[in-house]
Amino acid sequence: MTAALGGCGVTGGSGDVTLRLVAADYGDSAANSSQKYWDKLVKEYESKHSGVKIDVTVYSWNDVDRKVKEMVDAGKAPDMAQIGAYADYAAKDELYTADDLLSISTQADFASQLATAGQVKGVQYGMPFAASTRLLFYNKTLFANAGLTPPKTWKQLAADAAALKARGVKYPYALPLGPEEAQAETMQWMLSGGGGYTDTVGSYGIDSAQNVATFDWLKDDLVGKGLTGPVAPGNLNRAAAFSAFAKGEVGMLNGHPSLMKIAAKKGVKFGMVPMPGSGGRSSTSMGVADWMMAFKKNGHAQQVGDFLDFVYDEKNVLDFSREYDLLPVTNSASEVMSSDERDADLKPFLDELPQSELYPVGKTSWAAVSAAVKKRIGQAVGANGSPAATLSQLQATASTAESAD
């Protein structure tokens, strides 16, 4: 009913319709490229919908957001884009709302915090497509050799790191605050200290007392004591930290599901626990989502909505999540995954999802804030760094970007 109403007046009448989708590649080789996933899905859909063709182009994560922006700027927006951020397009009124497109049952099936993260001013434009959470990975062999148990508090984490350092471990705790993905490690630590990028009413609170205390602790109790390895955190990227973990050189680090495969391939025995907090296990985990959106420019709301209802069918969501070690964005697929033996590896991450917090992706200012965090946050824990000064600078950047919205 919703999809049919959304389509009124914009479907362009009868006849064949070709919908263009630009999507990101989650594969790590040609063998498991996302193009293969979409080709199979589209073939099945088209076999049941003779008047609709779906043309899918897949780009690497390095290029996909830029490619979509170039297409939109040139007046050639695709019908759908599956990329990293939606808020800029929503702010310019270029997107359909979820209400315009999806059946009520599809909308109701989205995990609630993911659906909320897809909203701008209470209206959902971003449809979650893939989700992930983070856990603390630890090297079981290094821990056993040092007689350690996985930490539940920051104090225990620092003590474990000191014991690992004494045994010659290269990176007792790997702290990747380099420009690749520093915004993730930063948020994980902020949350574990009771803070975050935003406050309880959604305003930026980067320089809050909790966040300053968190980075003071990181600077003084981890980095300052030589417990984060030979590369300064501001120069250590996530990919390099993951690679070092797979070589057995890291005692502990924050990781997402793809690290399981990377480490297992190299024969590293690892365990995973929730992120330690300042006084006990952190009550909030970091969640990440990628987004599907539909542009209004070409119309075809009814056909787009019908195709997306198919995309979000339980079977298709499960197929995608299992292929790429990601978490389902729907409740129905999550319930299946929670109880299915073949998904046991992902269950610890799935358990974290309900209490996870996502980046403030509904803010058009987030892209600028994220870029500033990647560039500067490493300075906060450097030898001559000042957490209070760095976080204050980032808050000023956030306030400026927010007022420019």
105-155 residue pLDDT tens: 999 999 999 999 999 989 999 999 999 999 999 999 999 999 999 999 999
Q: What are phi and psi of 299, to 5 degrees?
A: 75, -140
Name the amino acid, one letter, at 335.
E
Reported pTM: 0.87
The CATH number of 2-131+288-356 is which of 3.60.10.10, 3.90.226.10, 3.10.105.10, 3.40.190.10? Answer: 3.40.190.10
In whole angstroms, what is the distance from residue 252 CA to residue 365 CA?
32
**pLDDT band (50, 70, 90) for residue 394:** very high
On the question of a common fold for 2-131+288-356 and 135-274+365-403, the answer reads yes
> 3.50.50.60, 3.40.190.10, 1.10.10.10, 3.40.109.10: which CATH number matches 135-274+365-403?
3.40.190.10
Evaluate if residue 4 carries a pLDDT over 70: no
- pLDDT for 61 equals 87
Task: Please say whether the beta carbons of 102 and 156 come within 8 A.
Answer: no
Rounded average pLDDT over 275-296: 92
Q: Is the pLDDT of residue 203 over 70?
A: yes
User: What is the gyration radius of the CA atoms in the chain, in angstroms?
Assistant: 22
Tell me the pLDDT band of 12, cut-offs 50, 70 and 90: very low
DSSP β-ladder status, 119-120 and 250-255: unpaired
Beta-carbon contacts of residue 200 (< 8 Å; ≥ 6 apart): none
Contact 7, 305 (CB under 8 A): yes
The domains of the chain are located at: 2-131+288-356, 135-274+365-403
The average pLDDT across 39-56 equals 96
> How confident is the model at residue 15, as a pLDDT?
57
pLDDT band of 405, cuts 50, 70, 90: low
* β strands within 90-211, DSSP E: 119-120, 123-124, 127-133, 135-139, 171-173
pLDDT digits (tens, 9 = 90+) for 340-385: 999 999 999 999 998 899 999 999 999 899 999 999 999 999 999 9
